[in-house]
Structure 1
Amino acid sequence: MHTRLLPPDGSKVSEIGFGAWAIGGEWGPQNDEDSLQTLHAAIDRGVNFIDTAAGYGDGHSEMLIAKVLRDRSEQIFVATKTPPAAGPWPPSPYCRWQDRYSAAYLRDNLHQRLTNLGVERIDLLQLHTWTRGWNDDPQPLLVLRQLRDEGKINLIGVSTPEHDQDCVVQLMRNGLVDVVQVIFNLFNQDAAAQILPVAAETGTGVIVRVALDEGSLSGKYAGDHVFGEDDFRSRYFAGDRMQRTADRVAEIRADMDALGLSDDYSMADVALKFVLARPEVSTVVAGMRTVKQVHQNTRTSQLRDLPDEAITRLRRHNWRRGIWYAGK
């Protein structure tokens, strides 16, 4: 497993990180013993970066991670997230930070994160979403800075709202965040316009999520695939979205064949390598819920980088599909 530096403190993190949403729930049935085996397998394969959140099973993902941390001697970097208090998701322009991320709320939530993970300091605490409406009065981030000064947090981050990822550019330039977590994949390449260059300019760490587009860019789902009601992807791929996505995946596969990549790379390999081609990216969080998925995702790090010709050609798959979370 190759490692990369995570600015600004220069932590060495595995370039493939463990996405822990599925082990908390909402991706269909999941057995805790399977989850624990999966976490151990990932660490055995060199993964030392785990990304979780309060909302992943109401802290269940964090508590599973805590069990594994107690059994391992390796130094594991754990990033978690604090959601805003009850209200619209993502926050609307009319939401007040005082109602969603008050100082008292942030302190109480951080205490719960520390308790669930069984640690005295969080390696990286990210606000799970944000709104541009708070950029000129970013008090929640100043509260996190105080908590960092108190030794309860090492790094401060924001996970971008899907509908307005560029809202973090101002935060980066103002030195208010150490790390941003962004969506960047073959279908959604918007981060290449400003977020990634500004991260390089400001020395901000970058974590990429949804690199496999919630599994579609693994190439394993046909257009008629139906997800169970207890899997959030039944909503993400609602209506005709799965068929439309599968058609686009077929076009990527055709490019892989034309570029001579298909013999050595899986579809998931190509999707992950496309993201890792950007030097600003410190780690790509890939969801893992089985040992098999651990082996599939971690093997990518062992493969040679995609040639420049392939990266250039694959950029054509950028898909301006709008915000699916808002409805069909």
Structure 2
Amino acid sequence: MQQHQLGSELTSSAIGLGCMGFSQGYGATDDDESVTAIHTAIDAGVTLFDTAMSYGSGHNERLLARALRDAGEQVRVATKFGIVRTDSGVRLDGNPARVREYCDASLQRLDRDVIDLYYLHRIDPEVPVAETIGAMAELVAAGKVRHLGVSEATPAQLAEAAAVHPIAAVQFEWSMLWREPEHDIVPTARKLGIGLVPYSPLGRGLLTATLDPTTVATSDFRRNDPRFRGDHLENNLTQVAALRDLATRLDITAGQLALAWLLAQGPDVVPIPGTRRPTRILENAAAADVALSPADLEDLEKLVSPESWTGDRQSFAAPGTTRSTS
């Protein structure tokens, strides 16, 4: 698979794998099947595997450790801290005094000596981001972490973080379904030399053109999202049909077209689609080989314009945040 660049030093496969769904969010899971899916991704050339301490309250990191036990040195592991899930709910914690503790716990669960890319999952509104990043920088100096990242930051917060320590990547929702980052976070990150890691690059499955609308209620990450409800869903499915028609003309799937569109945005973009199905992992990985022409990209902008999608994902947020909690 072709390689893309995150920051000045971190190289990754053009398409990574978001691992959250192996532990939460999209129904019942099976660890053996998840390990098989991860091995399929490795065989397909995927080198970046994205997890978090909050996914399954540690289960996801332990699962990834099992799946990557015999993986080669080309594999890169990204994990995140800052979202804490307890029986009483979800809270954000960017306290510098606890950053090393969170990192050490993730290292133990991952069964690794060093984390390749360590993200602040969400910025704690009670803690200046510079203070949290300062504590993360100490992890780099200690050899526990190679590169730092931030997830769902504002442009101002991203600049503040980068002023403390080089930031290799910023993670945020970006897809044909959600184009808002192109107005602010994308240009800011590029000005700062920070790589772009879009999560939900397939619009939480909508852009695959295979989503059964009757299953929306079974997903924690769809049923409360306005884009998957009522008139918004009906409208967005019409847009998906147009996307599928263009993909058919190009002899690829709708999902591959959506991923290829993101990859066409630049060599600093590494989408991390998540799926539990090996066949879908292979399909997603193959999107890295799709070269869209300027005419194809122009057709996409006309047939599936940014303004044609409806539903505001910003109203679907975790406590203390303005964004959803993927």
TM-score range normalised by the length of the shorter chain: 0.7 to 0.9
Alignment-derived partner of residue 308 in structure 1: 297
User: Taking structure 1 as reference, are residues 49 and 322 closer, same or farther at Cα in structure 2, changes over 3 Å only?
Assistant: closer
Query: Using the alignment, how far apart are the partners of 2:142 and 2:194 within structure 1?
Result: 22
Separation of aligned partners in 2, 1:315 and 1:131:
34
Cα distance, 1:175 vs structure 2: 5.2
2:210 equivalent among 212, 215, 220: 220
What's the counterpart of residue 147 of structure 2?
A: 155
| 1:143 maps to 2:135 | yes
Task: Tell me the residue number matched to 1:104.
Answer: 97
TM-score of the pair, normalised by structure 2: 0.85
* CA shift for structure 1 position 90: 7.2
Residue 325 of structure 1 and its aligned partner are, at CA, apart by 1.4
Equivalent position of 1:290 in the other structure: 277
Gaps of 5+ in 1: 92-99
Tell me how far 1:8 sits from its aligned partner.
2.3
Change (3 A) 1:242 1:214: farther
C-alpha spacing 1:15/1:239, structure 2 compared with 1 (3 Å): closer
Look up the SS of the partner of 2:217 in the other structure. coil
SS of corresponding position for 2:69:
helix
Deviation at 1:25?
A: 2.6
Question: After superposition, what is the alpha-carbon deviation per residue over 1:251-291, rounded to whole angstroms, capped at 9, x for unaligned?
Answer: 2432553x575451222112212221211643100002121
Instruction: For 1:172 and 1:264, locate their aligned partners in 2 and report how far apart those are by CA, in whole Å.
Output: 43
* Superimposed CA distance per residue, residues 201-245 of structure 1 (whole angstroms, 9 cap, x where no aligned partner): 2111211111112111211224444432xx313533479616622
Per-residue CA distance 1:158-201 (angstroms, 9 max, x = gap): 1106xxx4454433663543321111111211111122222222
In 2, are the aligned partners of 1:222 and 1:243 still within 8 Å (CA)?
Answer: no
Cα gap change, 1:187 to 1:90, in 2 (>3 Å): farther
State yes or no: 1:235 paired with 2:227: no
How many Å separate the matches in 1 of 2:228 and 2:287?
31
* 1:254 has 2:253 as partner: no
Report the 3-state secondary structure (helix = DSSP H, G, I; strand = E; otherwise coil) of the residue aligned with 1:119. coil
Please tell me whether the aligned partners of residues 122 and 153 of structure 1 are also in contact (alpha carbons under 8 angstroms): yes
Q: Percent identity?
A: 24
Q: Contact 1:210 / 1:285 at 8 angstroms: preserved in 2?
A: yes
Calculate the TM-score normalised by the size of structure 1: 0.84
In the TM superposition, residue 146 of structure 1 has moved relative to its aligned partner by 1.2
Picking from 283, 298, 316, the partner of 1:325 is 316
CA gap of 1:243–1:263, structure 2 versus 1, over 3 A, is farther
**Structure 2 counterpart of 1:276:** 263
Change (3 A) 1:223 1:30: closer
In structure 2, list runs of 5 or more residues that go unmatched: 319-326
1:118 and 2:111 are equivalent in the alignment = yes
Alignment of 1:177-192 (within 5 A): 177-192=167-182
**More deviation in 111-120 or 214-223?**
214-223
TM-superposed deviation, 1:315: 3.6
Tell me, in whole angstroms, the C-alpha distance in 2 between the residues paired with 1:107 and 1:304: 42
User: What count of residue pairs does the alignment treat as equivalent?
Assistant: 311
Give the CA deviation at 1:148: 0.9
Measure the CA separation in 1 of the matches of 2:248 and 2:161.
36
Root-mean-square deviation over aligned CA pairs: 2.7
| Alignment-derived partner of residue 96 in structure 1 | none
Q: Is the 8 A contact 1:169 1:194 kept in 2?
A: no
Which range moves more in the overlay, 261-270 or 56-65? 261-270
Corresponding residue for residue 95 of structure 1: none
The C-alpha deviation readout for 1:23-44, integer Å capped at 9, x for no partner, is 1233211111100100000000
State the Cα distance separating 1:101 from its structure 2 match: 2.1
SS of 1:323 mapped into structure 2: helix
